[in-house]
Amino acid sequence: MVGGGATSMIGETHRMAARFHDRYTLVAGSLDADPAAGRAFAVKLGIAEDRIYDDFAAMAGAEAERDDGIEVVSVLTPNNTHHRICRAFIDRGFHVICEKPLCTSLEDARDLVRAVRAAGIVFGLTHPYPGFPMVRCARDIVAAGELGKIWLVQAEFTPGWMSRPVEREGDAAAEWRTDPAIMGPSLVMADNGSHAHNLARFVTGLEVSEVAAELTTFVPGRRLEDNAMALLRFDNGARGMLWASTVTTGIVDGLQLRIHGEKAGLRWRLETSDQLTLYPDAGPARTLDRQETGLTAAGFIEGFANVYASVAEDIRALAAEPSGPREYAGVEDGAIGIKFILAAIESSARDGAWVDARLDV
C-alpha cells in the first residue's frame, strides 16, 4: 500500500475492503508523505520492519528484488501523485489498484494506458459503485434489453461537505482538494462527477460523446469549482444530465442514477443501495433487492470489497482463462474519465459550448 496513512480519509476503507473476501494480505507499505509517521503506523498495522519503506520508489525497487515480493500495490495518495507512483510499479510488472481520478492530465492518462498494456498487468481503479450488487444487477438488466433502447440518463453525486470553506478550517482532505497543484484542474467534477460518469457508463454500456457544462465556484476564495452541471449526448443518441456538487448544504452522499429507455426505466440511489427500482412502461413500479444477485453484501465498504475481489479474480485469471465482462473500472475507464472532466472544463470556459468527450483508448 502506498498512501492511506493514519489520518487519511480512504486508507481504512481499502484495508477493510482488501481483507473482506480473504483475497489479500497487507505485507509492505509506504503509507504516509511523512516517512516517520508512515513507519509508526505500518508497525501498528503489523507490517514487518524490513518491508516498511520511506518512499514508493524504494518500495517498488526492493519488492521487485524479493522472492516473496508483493503481487499488487494499492495507490491511495492525492491525485497529482497517482501517475508517477503507478508507473514505478507497472514498470516492474506489479498489478495496480489505484484511487480515482486516474491522474490529472490527458497526457498522463494515455501514458498509463500504454504502460499497463505493455506490461500486461491488471489495473483496477477504485470507483466502488460497480462493486455494489444492485448496480451490477442494473447493468445486467440494461444489457439484457429490458429497458429497450436507452433514451435518457441522469446521474448525480452531490455530497455537501464543502458548503463552508472547510479548507480554511483545518480539514486536510479539503485543503489539498482545493489546491489545483495537487487536485488537478477540477474539484467537484474530478472528485464526484468522475464517479457519476463512470457509474452511468458502467450501467448503460454507453459512452458520452459530447458534453456542455457550467462549472461554478460558490464558496468565496475557493480556487476550483464546487458545483458542476452538464448536459450529455451519448453515442447511441441518448441524452443525459450529470450534476456534481459539494455545496449541497446538508446532503451526505446524494449519488443517484436514473435511466429510461423505450420499454422501461430504472433508478438506483446510494442511500438505498440494496434496492433497485424498475419502472415498466405499463403497470406499477417494482423494487428489486439483492436476492436478485449472487452477491451477499451492499454498502460502501462491501462495494469496495467486491471491487477488490474482482481484481483478485482477474489477477488469478491471467494464469488461466480470462473471466467474463470486467466488474470494475480499469485504466481505460480512468482515461475516458479524465477526458470527460477536461471536456467539461473546456465547455464551461466556452460558455457551455458542446465539446467532444470521446477518447479512443
Q: Which residues bind ligand NAI (CB under 6 A)?
A: 2-5, 8-10, 30-33, 56, 76-79, 81, 99-100, 126, 128, 172-173, 176
C-alpha–C-alpha distance, residues 288 and 274, integer Å: 8
Which of residues 6 and 278 has its CB atom nearest to ligand NAI in the complex? 6
Shortest Cβ 282–ligand NAI spacing (Å): 38
Which of residues 173 and 295 has its CB atom nearest to ligand NAI in the complex? 173
* DSSP code string of 107-175: HHHHHHHHHHHHHT--EEE---GGGSHHHHHHHHHHHTTTT-SEEEEEEEE---TTSS-GGGTT-HHHH
End-to-end CA distance of the chain: 27
Shortest Cβ 235–ligand NAI spacing (Å): 26
Shortest Cβ 38–ligand NAI spacing (Å): 6
Shortest Cβ 78–ligand NAI spacing (Å): 5
Quote the cell numbers at residue 222: 475557493
Please name the residues in contact with 349: beta carbons below 8 A apart, sequence gap of 6 or more: none
Which of residues 9 and 43 has its CB atom nearest to ligand NAI in the complex? 9
Which of residues 133 and 193 has its CB atom nearest to ligand NAI in the complex? 193
* CB-nearest residue to ligand NAI: 5
C-alpha–C-alpha distance, residues 15 and 336, integer Å: 27
Give backbone dihedrals phi and psi of 196, rounded to 5 degrees, phi first: -65, -40
Shortest Cβ 271–ligand NAI spacing (Å): 16
Quote the cell numbers at residue 111: 501514458
The length of the chain in residues reads 361
Shortest Cβ 88–ligand NAI spacing (Å): 11
Which of residues 128 and 130 has its CB atom nearest to ligand NAI in the complex? 128
Work out whether strand 275-280 and strand 286-289 pair parallel, antiparallel, or are unpaired.
antiparallel
Shortest Cβ 59–ligand NAI spacing (Å): 9
Which of residues 254 and 261 has its CB atom nearest to ligand NAI in the complex? 254
Give backbone dihedrals phi and psi of 350, rounded to 5 degrees, phi first: -100, 30
The 8-class DSSP code of residue 191 comes to I
- CB of 289 closer than 8 Å to CB of 272: no
C-alpha–C-alpha distance, residues 17 and 210, integer Å: 35
Residue with cell 458520452: 208
Shortest Cβ 212–ligand NAI spacing (Å): 25
Which of residues 234 and 340 has its CB atom nearest to ligand NAI in the complex? 340
Residue with cell 464546487: 226
For residue 311, the SS3 value is: helix
Shortest Cβ 32–ligand NAI spacing (Å): 4
Give the type of residue at 320.
Answer: A
Which of residues 99 and 234 has its CB atom nearest to ligand NAI in the complex? 99
Which of residues 73 and 212 has its CB atom nearest to ligand NAI in the complex? 73
Give the type of residue at 202.
Answer: F
